[in-house]
Structure 1
Amino acid sequence: MSTPTSTPSSATHGEVRQQPQAWRDLRRLLHDRGPALRAFLDPLLARPDLRIVLTGAGTSAFVGDIAAAALRRPLGRRLDSVPTTDLVADPRSAFADPAPVLLVSFARSGNSPESLAAVQLADELSPGVHHLVVTCHAQGRLALDRAGAERSFVLLLPEQTHDSGFAMTSSFTTMLLAVLCAFEPQHLDAVEQLATAATAVLDRAGDVEDLLDPLPHRTVFLGSGPLQGLAQEAALKVLELTAGRTAAFHDSPLGFRHGPKALVDDRTLVVVLGSADPYTARYDADILTELRGDATARVVHVDPPGLTGLPDGLRAAVLAVPVQLLALGASLRHGCTPDDPFPGGTVNRVVRGVRIHPLVHPLVEGGGGGR
């Protein structure tokens, strides 16, 4: 095992390594706030026509993708993951269904323009909408605006999860576990198992970084079900932390054959995020066999030990850790500063330059410039 190059001098390194403790802190927080959270959620979940919409931007949107795929079957109801970036751009489509809505907003800072606009548009287009805000920043505008607001509940996560680094790491996994445990409280019993498994991954960080020898110029992340959302987050982490110097892609194991596989060459690293579902895992095995038979790309199957009996939604939090270590190691090998990979400000920690346009209603669209 090599010595990790991701030195503790970066905030991002510390925020990756703090995740097991952050999850334990989350468990205590949810035990304390559980009765109030249940009082808010249970009457809503008693409504069979309730539509749950999970929303966020970038990494926060991928929390929704993973959680929606993980929760549909056990909750037996409709869950839609709609990024705030889609919701704000086409709000009438997002809220075309007249069913009552619970909007679950994920936000590290709670200050992105789309996050704020999404809740306002929901109030305007879905009368009676309820809001569950899952955020890491007590002083963010989203938390402050919704605290004490009618039909709203703000779930503020442990303070350390408000990552100061550029990329979302502990905020991502802790928001994911928070929403899974909010809707399925029995998952709190699995948090210690998850934390122990993640610690074991962190203790072998050098093994992860060995995958970067030689440094790939392309990375591909493949996952099915809830892990498809994680594959998308993994690709974003590599792009963010290497400032785009390593091209990164995502797909499902089945979808990858339908064209995207064309990008594979001998400088490509393909990471298959292993599913615990026995049926789904067959497709993981098939793509692993195929790619290894091609003898072109380097292929890795990520399936950390210590997660026996856990569903993929929960496992995604632990599988995210080696992905983060991989992105962090690639960042350093490219000579980037992980906490600030875009010193010129072309990409920012909290998005800038977004103009939120007023919603013009159909009756006044068109003539006279919509006035």
Structure 2
Amino acid sequence: MDSVTLTEIKRQQKGWKEAFKYLETKSENVKVKFLKYKNRTWIFTGCGTSLYIAQTASYCFTKITGIQSKAVAASEVIISPEIVFPNDEFVLVPISRSGTTTEIVLAARKSGKEFSIPTIAVSCTSESELVGECDNAITFPFQREESVVMTGSFLTMLLSIIYLALELSEDTNEKLRSELTTLPDGSEKLMLSNELYIKEIACKLDLNEFVFLGQGPMYGLANEAALKMQEMTISVAQGYHTLEYRHGPKSTCAENTFAAVMLSDNGFDLEAKLIPELKDFGASTLVLYSDTEREHVNKADFKIEIPKGYSDLMKPFFYLPLLQLLGYYRAVAKGINPDSPKNLTQVVKF
């Protein structure tokens, strides 16, 4: 029997195509509903993986629209709402695969009922407690996952927020829109052509500390990749801003460390300088990058180049499926079943 986790990872690009078609039918409706919120600050919120979607989504949303936004853990919205909402000029976007996680439902309820903050749910479930609590919702029931570990739905929900940003932007963003249409096929081809290579890397890694590094839209991915490695392999894994790794975290970097660096075009020269430093500390390194091999990239132990011509905002759709596969195959190499992660359930309720 095939692993449901592996199935979810490998079918996600088909889900993006469905999502894109669905969103195209909602274009005018999106503008009518949400343009009135352009002068507010947007708060993207979630728990666990959904919080890391929020981190990447906030960066992409502000980059595309110019509208101020930030990512906040749902628990902070519940416990310190007066800090999150110092006035009523905000919009809350709660993100949840199931729409039933306790904190996200409470965050939406408190924001709307106690602070009169407009709420827009992003979820893979059309009829849920979260959707019922929110003023509006963008949902993708066809992307519902069977796996406990959340994989494919991450990028589908991120796609919806990027699409929303494009609709709210005053710029036509023709290049980004064009990139979106070719993403699914390009990402799937890259993932499948590198699957065996990633499996080989995972089998070679007799290591017990994993570090994932990224800047800008890749920072949320770094946190998410670390979480996937932790959930699936029961290993110590952490995510950091690439340049922040020098400020303390490098103290534990050694021969038992594996570091995956997701390079951006925007910060390539600064970020790539860390690669030889990681090697000097004894770490094994994987570098994900695009366009061309510049200085320092060749010093990595492993490297994967994504297709040329995609902006940094689109790189998550190439990078994350590869790192999800890495977590999956590392778990298999350790004799752990990724479909039954220790102490975890698909939905957190309390």
Normalising by structure 1, we get a TM-score of 0.84
The alignment status of 1:202 with 2:191, answered yes or no, reads yes
Identity %: 24
Letter of the 1:138 partner, please give it. S
| Higher CA-based Rg | 1
What CA distance in whole angstroms lies between the structure 1 residues aligned with 2:26 and 2:161?
Answer: 13
Cα displacement string for residues 25-51 of structure 1 (whole angstroms, at most 9, x for unaligned residues): 111000111121111112222xx3x11
What CA distance in whole angstroms lies between the structure 2 residues aligned with 1:347 and 1:306?
Answer: 33
What CA distance in whole angstroms lies between the structure 2 residues aligned with 1:302 and 1:325?
Answer: 14
2:288 alignment partner in structure 1: 302
Distance 1:276 1:196, change over 3 A: farther
The alignment status of 1:20 with 2:6, answered yes or no, reads no
| Distance apart, 1:307 and its partner CA | 4.3
The alignment status of 1:155 with 2:148, answered yes or no, reads no
The alignment status of 1:67 with 2:52, answered yes or no, reads no
1:238 alignment partner in structure 2: 229
Q: How many residues align?
A: 327
Match of 1:80 among 49, 64, 70: 70
2:180 alignment partner in structure 1: 191
Check whether the contact 2:46–2:54 (CA below 8 A) recurs between aligned residues: yes
Distance 1:264 1:75, change over 3 A: same
What CA distance in whole angstroms lies between the structure 1 residues aligned with 2:131 and 2:30?
Answer: 16
The alignment status of 1:131 with 2:119, answered yes or no, reads yes
Cα displacement string for residues 214-249 of structure 1 (whole angstroms, at most 9, x for unaligned residues): 33211100101111111001100101111x2x2101
SS in structure 2 at match of 1:18: helix
Letter of the 2:225 partner, please give it. A
SS in structure 2 at match of 1:184: helix
SS in structure 1 at match of 2:265: coil
What CA distance in whole angstroms lies between the structure 2 residues aligned with 1:315 and 1:169?
Answer: 16
Distance 1:71 1:311, change over 3 A: farther
Match of 2:106 among 117, 132, 141: 117
Distance 1:27 1:305, change over 3 A: farther
Letter of the 1:196 partner, please give it. D
Normalising by structure 2, we get a TM-score of 0.88
| Distance apart, 1:295 and its partner CA | 5.7
Check whether the contact 1:107–1:134 (CA below 8 A) recurs between aligned residues: yes
What CA distance in whole angstroms lies between the structure 1 residues aligned with 2:132 and 2:162?
Answer: 24
The aligned runs of 1:133-282 (5 Å cut-off) are: 133-146=121-134, 152-159=135-142, 161-185=143-167, 186=173, 187-203=176-192, 204-212=194-202, 213-242=204-233, 244=234, 246-277=235-266, 280-282=267-269
Letter of the 2:149 partner, please give it. A
What CA distance in whole angstroms lies between the structure 1 residues aligned with 2:98 and 2:281?
Answer: 44
SS in structure 2 at match of 1:19: helix
Check whether the contact 2:121–2:137 (CA below 8 A) recurs between aligned residues: yes
Cα displacement string for residues 62-121 of structure 1 (whole angstroms, at most 9, x for unaligned residues): 11101112222332231011110221122221112x142211111100000111100111
Distance 1:188 1:133, change over 3 A: farther
Check whether the contact 1:253–1:283 (CA below 8 A) recurs between aligned residues: no
Structure 2, unaligned runs of 5 or more: 168-172, 290-303
What CA distance in whole angstroms lies between the structure 1 residues aligned with 2:30 and 2:114?
Answer: 25
Distance 1:89 1:335, change over 3 A: farther
Check whether the contact 1:194–1:307 (CA below 8 A) recurs between aligned residues: no
Check whether the contact 1:215–1:330 (CA below 8 A) recurs between aligned residues: no
Letter of the 1:143 partner, please give it. V
